[in-house]
Amino acid sequence: MEDKIEKLTTEEVDVEALEARLELLDPGMTPGYYCYGDG
Amino acid sequence: MYVDLPDDRAHVLLVHGYSGAFDKVPASVASYLRSLDERPPKPLYGDWTDTGNNGDAEATRPSDELLALLTKRGYLTSLTRAEERARFDRLVQMRHEKWSALPPAYTLMPTYDCNLRCGYCFQDHMRTDARYEHLLRFMTPQVVDRIVAAMPAIEERHGLTQPGAPRNVMFFGGEPLLARSRPLIDYLMAAIRRAGPATFTAVSNGTQLDAYEDVLGPEGITVLQITIDGTPELHDTRRVHADGTGSFAAIARNIDLALGRGAKIDVRMNVDRSNVDVLPRLASLFEERGWFRDAGFSAYVAPVHGTKGNLERKTTFNSHELGVTINAMKREHPQLGKFDLPDDDLARNLRSLFREHGDALPQMKAAYCGAHTSMYVIDPFGDIYACWERTGDKNLRVGWIEADGTPQFVADRLATWRKRNVSSNETCGQCRYSMYCGGGCAVLAEDVHGTIFGNYCDAFGRRFRETVGRAYGERHLANTVDERVASLRAL
């Protein structure tokens, strides 16, 4: 069986180190969303 | 989450709900993970399902080395469900607190009045029902002074004690850029600028922009969102003046004028089943007017949602239906590719992520929108709201500004809005898509559940899987939408 993984996002992903990475995250880096306002 | 790849049944994209991992694995590995799932995905939480065509491969235990990697990236865990939930809640809280510490986004409403009478507008009753007549006044210079005086105290709530980046001010209404409001807007912009640097954007119907010609552009109002609902004939039946006349011609002239001044124009098209068919002709019309060749021009479609009980579900699309419908139409009408669809921002972000092997954490949302973080919507009376869809009713205001410029807040009401995130309601807290969705619009969730602490899925799970699969296949395509335009859509 083919037994490999191709990581599409950063190598740094480690679920045990998430809190430390979130602490360092630039707060200005926020995702977009769109508003439903039908005005 | 398991994402099928449209042209590759031998592999599946795995996406972890909060670790930031996106990984391409053999379908057999995905099947192995599915076989360990304690709670097989089912359409339990809201409207989503977690189906996938490539999950029927035979499950085979991966090597120890791969199992370790799958554990590191979050897909396998030895935590109990309660421990996993506690970790999720902690991460959501951290993300939410960071986002909430951003500088305030000010949405200022010079008036609730508007010169148009659009049947689907969530504020239309304010102009047509005499019981709301008291709202149709204009902000006074005294209220402007109070708002400007209140800004430092509002910013202090977000940890800002020194002047920093320019203040973000968006004009919203009613119609904020009525010709008769020009002196008021001049006063507002001057007063805000005296207090520090600021950037100005507006959501306008565009009908009277000619009265603002000299303040449109990079040094004034930089970006305008303007709605066009179809070809001139159709638009003029939907976006009508109070006397019943149409508005297309004036809007089109004013878009030419604003683009000529260097302003960015982002056209929004509110689409339902009655106007979707005219979009190809509308795209051709935009092309003929030369708008698509202007780097300052962009256009996007948004579904009309029935938030007032006056729109029947059979006349509207959800975001997934709208995307599917327009993508199908593109085969015969490729010019529709010039219009942004609801998930195109997500697709752009994902393409960049895949191209650069980037970090997905910045893409993840603890909450849906600025109503839950740092948006302050201030109406003509100096009343403060968290969301513009809930303005005009003092019983819903989250605060107000005193005559001396002191902002006062209704603590529990503000806290209610600001604490809505994907762990503060049970449905989103158990949904694996929630940190890419944000929980959906609070107002629409309230319509469904009677509380903002509920989910509004809008078919997000399906949209997410399809968008991830498509973005992976198109990861080498360039991104084109201007950042400032994207940020206006994101307010």
What pLDDT is stored for residue B102 in this prediction? 87
What pLDDT is stored for residue B490 in this prediction? 56
Interchain contact, B72 vs A30, CB within 8 Å = no
Helix or strand holding residue B22 (H, E):
strand B22-26
What are the extents of the domains in chain B?
2-78+421-489, 97-342
Backbone φ and ψ for B204, nearest 5 degrees, come out as -130, 155
User: CB-based contacts of B210: which residues, under 8 Å, 6+ apart?
Assistant: B179, B253, B254, B257
User: CB-based contacts of B222: which residues, under 8 Å, 6+ apart?
Assistant: B199, B200, B201, B263, B264, B484
Smallest CA-to-CA distance from B95 within B405, B288, B362 is with B362
| pLDDT, tens digit (0-9, with 9 covering 90-100), for B364-402 | 999 999 999 999 999 999 999 999 999 999 999 999 999
**What chain A residue is nearest to B87 in terms of C-alpha separation?**
A19
Smallest CA-to-CA distance from A30 within B282, B323, B95, B381 is with B95
Name the minimum distance, in Å, from the CA of A14 to any CA of chain B. Answer: 5
List per-residue pLDDT tens for chain B, 491 residues long.
999 998 899 999 999 999 999 999 999 999 999 888 876 554 444 554 555 555 567 888 899 999 999 999 999 999 998 999 999 999 999 999 988 988 999 999 999 999 999 888 888 888 888 898 888 899 999 999 999 999 999 999 998 887 778 999 999 989 999 999 999 999 999 999 999 999 999 999 999 999 999 999 999 999 999 999 999 999 999 999 999 999 999 999 999 999 999 999 999 999 999 999 999 999 999 999 999 999 999 999 999 876 545 556 678 898 999 999 999 999 999 999 999 998 998 999 999 999 999 999 988 999 999 999 999 999 999 999 999 999 999 999 999 999 999 999 999 999 999 999 999 988 899 889 999 999 999 999 998 889 999 999 888 988 999 999 999 999 988 766 555 566 556 55
User: CB-based contacts of B293: which residues, under 8 Å, 6+ apart?
Assistant: none
Q: Quote the DSSP letter at residue B103.
A: P
Query: Chain A contact for B307, CB < 8 A?
Result: yes
Query: In one letter, which amino acid is B134?
Result: H
| pLDDT, tens digit (0-9, with 9 covering 90-100), for B314-365 | 788 989 999 999 999 999 999 999 999 989 989 999 999 999 999 999 889 9
Interchain contact, A21 vs B302, CB within 8 Å = no
CB pairs A-B closer than 8 Å: 159
In chain B, residues with a C-beta closer than 8 Å to the C-beta of A28 are 102
Q: Quote the DSSP letter at residue B95.
A: H
Query: Chain A contact for B62, CB < 8 A?
Result: yes
Smallest CA-to-CA distance from B22 within B451, B479, B464 is with B464
What pLDDT is stored for residue A38 in this prediction? 45
Rounded alpha-carbon distances, angstroms, from residue B106 to B154, B203, B212, B231, B386: 10, 13, 21, 33, 10
Interchain contact, A28 vs B102, CB within 8 Å = yes
In chain B, residues with a C-beta closer than 8 Å to the C-beta of A11 are 357
User: CB-based contacts of B480: which residues, under 8 Å, 6+ apart?
Assistant: none
Helix or strand holding residue B2 (H, E):
strand B2-5
By DSSP bridging, strand B167-171 and strand B198-204 are parallel
| pLDDT, tens digit (0-9, with 9 covering 90-100), for A10-36 | 988 999 999 998 888 876 655 554 555
Q: Which strand ranges, in their side-by-side order, compose the sheet holding B375-378?
A: B297-303, B264-271, B221-227, B198-204, B167-171, B105-108, B375-378, B383-385, B399-401, B407-409
Interchain contact, B489 vs A32, CB within 8 Å = yes
| pLDDT, tens digit (0-9, with 9 covering 90-100), for B409-456 | 999 999 999 999 999 988 899 889 999 999 999 999 998 889 999 999
Query: Chain A contact for B67, CB < 8 A?
Result: no
What span, in angstroms and rounded, lies between the C-alpha atoms of B480 and A14?
A: 32
CB-CB: which of B18, B24, B102 is closest to A8?
A: B24
User: DSSP string spanning B244-270?
Assistant: S-B-HHHHHHHHHHHHHTT-EEEEEEE
Interchain contact, A1 vs B60, CB within 8 Å = yes
Q: What pTM does this model have?
A: 0.91
CB-CB: which of B22, B28, B342 is closest to A8?
A: B22
CB-CB: which of B69, B101, B472 is closest to A5?
A: B69
State whether CATH 3.20.20.70 applies to domain B97-342: yes
Query: Chain A contact for B123, CB < 8 A?
Result: yes
Name the minimum distance, in Å, from the CA of B99 to any CA of chain A. Answer: 6
Query: Chain B contact for A7, CB < 8 A?
Result: yes
